[in-house]
Amino acid sequence: MRDAVQLIQNARRVFAASHIDHDGDAVGSLLGFAHILRQLGKTVTVALADPVSWRFEHLPGAEKIHAVKPSPDDDLLVSLDASEFNRLGAVLTPNDLAGRPLLMIDHHITNSRFGTVNVLDPTAASTCEILYSLAQALDVPLDPTIATCLLTGVVTDTLGFRTTSTTPRSLEVAQALMHAGANLSEICQRAFNSDTYARLCLTADVLHRMTLDEGVLWSQVTLDDLRRLGVPYAESAGLVGYLNSVREARVAVIFRENEDGRIDVSMRSKPGISLASVALALGGGGHPQAAGATLPPPMNAARERVLAELHKLLAGTTVSA
């Protein structure tokens, strides 16, 4: 953390980015970080490869997020909530580094420590939880703007403080963020009780075609489904949680056909079953209970490969129900 503070203090113009297929922790950490640095008088550009989802567009500063690359004047590059460099997508590629320092801030256990300086804390339930400590280390007082962005990541990555990754620290941070002016119920409402009609139709299809196969409950989404129902690809994430709620499922998986033809794999597991080794074997990453990978097409081959890995994992794991 000390090296990170020094890098930030020495910077004038900062370029910050978060991961493709963004979630609440990606957007919350990106915006929270930018607001913290602006308190220090820094100029900050915020970038995401994809347009901001309607779910997060109300967050303060979300309108300033664009799919832009760093300018030659930026003297510090920052990666937030990404376990691998290539998860930043098109906004930051190796050619963009140009000898500049890259500050990497993340909480994924599979993180490859790709930064010049790495702030990696796999015990943190969200990247936003780490940024709370960073704000303290930088002596930046929390205001309602910073607190709202950070609490969004804290709440969404813990699914409302329900995941095994949630610790007393997550709750302490949330408490401090509420004291600083963040509205917990409003954040929960937008994150968990808000959907579009088209997306609920997609959910119905995904549930209709789910298959339980020896402890693995899986389903899939094709580009045809998305076109037929009018759901943008970016809105098709987050369905795997429904499958994982099933008692008989030890692992839940959703295969999604991406716009570039590749297959996005979203996996969830019950406590006691770690997906980290399977995710790494598939060239992906994530957390013990929530991991993913991106595989080449076709869908059937990707699915067979993942299901084989998961059955191998389950054959070697005993879990008390």
CB 81 within 8 A of CB 106: yes
Q: Three-state SS for 308? A: helix
Mask: binding to Mn ion, 144-163, rule CB under 5 A, as x and -? -------------x------
Determine, following the binding rule CB under 5 A, whether residue 81 of this chain makes contact with Mn ion. yes
Residue type, 77: L
When binding is defined by CB under 6 A, the residue of 70, 115, 215, 286 that contacts ligand 5GP is: 286
Nearer to ligand 5GP, 18 or 145 (CB): 18
CB 253 within 8 A of CB 216: yes
Between the CA atoms of 102, 105, 111 and 116, what dihedral angle is there, to the nearest 10 degrees?
Answer: 20
For residue 312, what are the CA distances in angstroms to 278, 299, 309?
9, 20, 5
Determine, following the binding rule CB under 6 A, whether residue 291 of this chain makes contact with ligand 5GP. yes
Half-sphere exposure of 264 (CA within 13 A, CB side): 19
Determine, following the binding rule CB under 6 A, whether residue 18 of this chain makes contact with ligand 5GP. no
- Beta carbon of residue 206, minimum distance to ligand 5GP (angstroms, whole number): 14
> Which of 90, 67, 87 has the alpha carbon at shortest distance from 79?
87
Determine, following the binding rule CB under 6 A, whether residue 287 of this chain makes contact with ligand 5GP. yes
Judged by beta carbon distances under 5 to 8 A according to partner kind, the member of Mn ion, ligand 5GP, none in contact with residue 25 is: Mn ion
Determine, following the binding rule CB under 6 A, whether residue 115 of this chain makes contact with ligand 5GP. no
Determine, following the binding rule CB under 6 A, whether residue 266 of this chain makes contact with ligand 5GP. yes
- Beta carbon of residue 6, minimum distance to ligand 5GP (angstroms, whole number): 28
Determine, following the binding rule CB under 6 A, whether residue 108 of this chain makes contact with ligand 5GP. yes
The residue range among 23-31, 190-198, 271-279, 293-301 that interacts with Mn ion, by the rule CB under 5 A, is 23-31
Between the CA atoms of 71, 73, 75 and 77, what dihedral angle is there, to the nearest 10 degrees?
Answer: -10
Burial of 237 (0-12, 13-18, 19+ CB in 10 A): middle
The residue range among 140-148, 167-175, 243-251, 286-294 that interacts with ligand 5GP, by the rule CB under 6 A, is 286-294
Burial of 160 (0-12, 13-18, 19+ CB in 10 A): middle
- Beta carbon of residue 292, minimum distance to Mn ion (angstroms, whole number): 12
Q: How many residues bind Mn ion (CB under 5 A)?
A: 4
Judged by beta carbon distances under 5 to 8 A according to partner kind, the member of Mn ion, ligand 5GP, none in contact with residue 128 is: none
Mask: binding to ligand 5GP, 59-88, rule CB under 6 A, as x and -? ------------------------xx--x-
Token code pair at residue 301:
């081959």
When binding is defined by CB under 5 A, the residue of 11, 19, 25, 52 that contacts Mn ion is: 25
CB 85 within 8 A of CB 79: yes
Question: Distance (Å, rounded) from C-alpha 172 to C-alpha 89?
Answer: 33
Residue sitting closest to ligand 5GP (CB):
292
Quickly tell me which residue has 């963040």 as its tokens.
Answer: 182
> How long a stretch of residues is the chain?
321
Determine, following the binding rule CB under 6 A, whether residue 153 of this chain makes contact with ligand 5GP. no
List residues bridging with 120 in a β-sheet. Answer: 106
- Beta carbon of residue 157, minimum distance to ligand 5GP (angstroms, whole number): 8
Token code pair at residue 218:
């899986």
> Which of 163, 114, 134 has the alpha carbon at shortest distance from 32?
134
Determine, following the binding rule CB under 6 A, whether residue 220 of this chain makes contact with ligand 5GP. no
Name the site residues for ligand 5GP (rule: CB under 6 A): 21, 83-84, 87, 108, 237, 240, 266, 284-287, 290-294
Which residues contribute to the site for Mn ion (CB under 5 A)? 25, 81, 127, 157
